[in-house]
Amino acid sequence: MGVIDIKKIAKTEQLFAPGHRACAGCGATIIIRQVLSVAGKDTVVGFATGCMEVVSTIFPYTAWEIPFLHVAFENVAAAISGVETAYRALKKKGKIKKKINFIAFGGDGGTYDIGLQALSGAMERGHDMLYICYDNGAYMNTGIQRSSATPFGAHTTTSPAGKKIPGKMQWRKDLTEIMASHGVPYVAQASPAYYQDLMQKVEKALSIEGPTFIDVLSPCPLGWYYATKDTIKIAKLAVETKYWPLYEVDNGVHRVTVKPRKFKPVEEWLKMQGRFRHLFKEENKWMIEYIQKELDKRWERLLKLEEAGL
């Protein structure tokens, strides 16, 4: 995959129009713009119910300059697998000739939790589609409730930092590895702060015939409690603190695509977000230590997998 020439891309037609009702500083909209800049006009997108679908398609306004399908919360993978199958059936009959990209988008809610079955089924069946999860680590659209993607210790409205229980007590699910275990040809993790890496991964995924999956970190100013201007800064810190390693599993082989020269301690990432504020209390310091240890462990594991060619 070639280097992404941002100047050239800035000249192409924008397929996600302004005038949508996303919050100021929303990470997910940045992700969508970067993805579509690579995917191009011959693309059909499906969205699970969630922030992006809701803010971009309020009748009669739509921000989409390409075909868009929304069915329900937990079934975008199934719906898009149906679209892709219809495409193959009609192509076989000679009714369609163009090559069309099929991309299903879901938030972590519609992907890790309620949508996991449909995602797993679609990936297992081998449909030629890309699934992108815009992962903001909670059910944001309904007002910040915990999902299985919510990081350990985070405050959400259903895992609040309370007097007895200080936030979410479970480590987040490693969906990227779960999808890698499905044996699909390509799986990756990306961050919108590293647009070259993200866009190259999307390009690669779309060039592969078969099911592909990319989990993208999507900072949310409202749910993570930070100033809107810091979205990209935080998306970068996540990578620099090992919270969100940027890697891919290409035909079953792990490869880390971005290796920061010097890592920052996880406190740098945590202290920027109000949802982790309570971790800095004396009685909760153990949580920060635990997080750092886990992140170090998981990073080491990733490096070892890469080294061993696994």
Q: Which of 35, 87, 107, 291 binds another protein (CB under 8 A)?
A: 87
CA-based nearest residue to 18, from 6, 30, 4, 7:
30
CB 32 within 8 A of CB 195: no
Q: Which of 145, 225, 233, 258 binds another protein (CB under 8 A)?
A: 233
**Binding span for another protein by CB under 8 A among 2-10, 131-139, 245-253, 267-275:** 2-10
Packing angle, helices 27-39 and 231-240, rounded to 10: 80
Looking at residues 238 to 257 of the shown chain, list those that interact with another protein (rule: CB under 8 A): none
Does the CA dihedral 185-190-196-197 come out positive or negative? negative
Residue 258 contacts another protein per CB under 8 A: no
Looking at residues 46 to 85 of the shown chain, list those that interact with another protein (rule: CB under 8 A): 46, 53-54, 56-72, 74-75, 78-85
**Binding span for another protein by CB under 8 A among 91-99, 156-164, 208-216, 262-270:** 91-99
Applying CB under 8 A, the site for another protein has a residue count of: 84
Residue 18 contacts another protein per CB under 8 A: yes
Q: How far is the CB of 235 from another protein (least distance, A)?
A: 9
Copy the structure tokens of residue 286. 């153990």
Q: Which of 228, 268, 280, 281 binds another protein (CB under 8 A)?
A: 228
Q: Which of 105, 112, 134, 195 binds another protein (CB under 8 A)?
A: 195
d(CA 4, CA 146): 35
Looking at residues 97 to 116 of the shown chain, list those that interact with another protein (rule: CB under 8 A): 98, 100
Residue 124 contacts another protein per CB under 8 A: yes
Looking at residues 173 to 192 of the shown chain, list those that interact with another protein (rule: CB under 8 A): 192
Helix (H) or strand (E) holding 43: strand 43-47
The set of residues, in sequence order, having a beta carbon less than 8 Å from that of 300 and lying 6+ positions away, is none
For another protein, give the closer residue by CB, 13 or 282. Answer: 13
**How far is CA 295 from its chain centroid?**
19
Q: Give phi and psi for 264, each to the nearest 5.
A: -105, 150
For another protein, give the closer residue by CB, 193 or 291. Answer: 193
The set of residues, in sequence order, having a beta carbon less than 8 Å from that of 279 and lying 6+ positions away, is 153, 166, 167, 270, 285, 287, 288
d(CA 202, CA 308): 25
Residue 225 contacts another protein per CB under 8 A: no
Q: How far is the CB of 102 from another protein (least distance, A)?
A: 9
Q: Which of 1, 169, 227, 310 binds another protein (CB under 8 A)?
A: 227
Helix (H) or strand (E) holding 160: none
For another protein, give the closer residue by CB, 60 or 309. Answer: 60
